[in-house]
Amino acid sequence: MITDITINANTRRLAGKSDARRLRAQGMIPAAIYGGGDEAVAIAINAKEIANILRSDTGHNTIFKIALSGGGEPATVIIKDWQVDPVKGRLLHADLLRLSLTETTRVSVAIEVVGEPIGVKLEGGILELQLRQIEAECLPGDIPEHLTLDVSNLHLGDHATVADLVYDRTKVKLLMDEHQLVAGVLAPRLTEAAAPTAEEAAADATAEPEVIKKGKTEE
């Protein structure tokens, strides 16, 4: 989705962990702009503004502009990739892809499931999703907010494929085989395991706990 959002950013010369930490302490994050036939540029950008775009309805497929402090025409971009601290949940880094509004681009679009399957509501089945997003190719102005999948008529044992997704086929090309499974209604799995014997319970109680090492999370 094309918006009228313009975010100011500064080019940066320094690199490394210490510079990244300094930027984050100021409410900024390191980022990069690339593509469009121009050289990649390292920038510092407001973390909150990028986070707000990622949380919007169109998410990372939001098209907006970046105005660099050195002047020049603002670049039309999309968020191609980003990194989040897995512990604190804060944004750490973003990659921005330059776009031409007259050239097709590849994007990842979310699949929105609507309806309650007959196989779940009346036949005791469980809806299982195989895909939650799919790669697509289209003009930037035609990027869909999501692809719709209606599962209302699925019975126990039925499946829905990429061919069942609802979208504008005259503007959007999906880069996946139309026979690829997206969702299905399956019989419920056995969830109760046999109760352990007294000997097994005693062995579990005396076993040494497993130690899980925690790796580095910071960039």
Kindly report, residue by residue over 139-149, the tens digit of the pLDDT. Answer: 999 999 999 99
pLDDT band at 219 (very low <50, low <70, confident <90, very high): very low
Mean pLDDT of the chain: 86
pLDDT band at 201 (very low <50, low <70, confident <90, very high): low
Residue type, 139: L
Q: Cα(70)–Cα(33) distance, rounded to whole angstroms?
A: 14
The full DSSP string for 128-185 is: EES-SEEEEEE-GGG--S-EEEE-TT--TT-EEEGGG-BS-TTT-EESS-TTSEEEEE
**Average pLDDT rounded to a whole number, residues 15-40:** 88
| pLDDT greater than 60 at residue 33 | yes
Query: Residue 34: its pLDDT value, please?
Result: 93
How far are the Cα atoms of 58, 136, 137, 145, 162 from residue 104, in angstroms, in the given order? 18, 10, 6, 16, 21
Q: Which tens digit of pLDDT belongs to each residue from 124-182?
A: 999 999 999 999 999 999 999 999 999 999 999 999 999 999 999 999 999 999 999 99
**Average pLDDT rounded to a whole number, residues 93-114:** 94
How far are the Cα atoms of 51, 80, 103, 145 from residue 60, in angstroms, in the given order? 10, 7, 18, 10
Q: Count Cα neighbours of 177 within 13 Å in the Cβ-side half-sphere.
A: 3
Fold of 2-98: Ribosomal Protein L25; Chain P (2.40.240)
pTM: 0.73
Q: Which tens digit of pLDDT belongs to each residue from 65-88?
A: 999 987 788 999 999 999 999 998
CATH 2.170.120.20 fits 105-186, yes or no: yes
pLDDT band at 214 (very low <50, low <70, confident <90, very high): very low
**Average pLDDT rounded to a whole number, residues 104-128:** 94
The DSSP call for residue 59 is G
- Domain ranges in the chain? 2-98, 105-186
Pairing of strands 147-150, 105-114: parallel
